Amino acid sequence: MQTELVIFDCDGVLVDSEALGNRVLVEFVAEFGLALELEEAILLFKGCKMADCVAVIEQRLGKKMPHDFVTQLRARTAEAFERELRPVDGIEAALDNINLPICVASSGPVEKIKLALRVTNLLPRFEGRIFSSYEIGSWKPAPDIFLYAAKNMGVQATSCTVVEDSVLGVRAGVAGGMRVLGYTKQSEATPLQACGARVFHSMYQLPSLLSHH
């Protein structure tokens, strides 16, 4: 099938937020007495919806987090994004060379997606084509967010290519009947391949992957 729409995940695909976001999380949960390594946090929480992240933290700590934990975490994350967030290396060049409709479908709230894209100057490319799990109340690995994006963009699911960096996201794309490209470090390629992604390691490769099937 010829690709008619490219659906991008946001965190770790468009914006280089995985280490940054998880560093904020690790620093915050340390205040509650939970010691987590950054690498472990990234593995645990990549592609995860917030409620699931909190459940894991509470399980590790053996106690409930305060009711405003998520609000505070989001505020701290937003501050870190404003200061330090960068686009993923090569993504602007890739987007400049992709002559297909594009959109974003992310597990994060709309405000967070827009903040991340604004800070990295990617927002004009995706304005009006941003889809959030919070809009539909369904998260990856369910395919609903990708199907919702495709429907809104007026494209059949089978004509979409998803660009993802997490196992949950790859599973969601595959479940939706879409072609999935997995952006990952060489050392972490196996789990994404096992879920059905075609793996690539540099955004500079993306345009040619989209034009050749």
In one letter, which amino acid is 184? T
Burial profile 187-197: b = 16 or more Cβ within 10 angstroms, e = fewer: ebeeebeebeb
Give the helix ranges, DSSP H, for 10-61. Answer: 18-30, 38-45, 50-61
Distance CA 166, CA 11 (A): 10
CB atoms closer than 10 angstroms to residue 80? 16
Q: How far apart are CA 19 and CA 65, in angstroms?
A: 22
Strand boundaries in 94-148, DSSP class E = 102-106, 130-132
68 carries an active-site annotation: no
Name the residues annotated as catalytic. Answer: 9
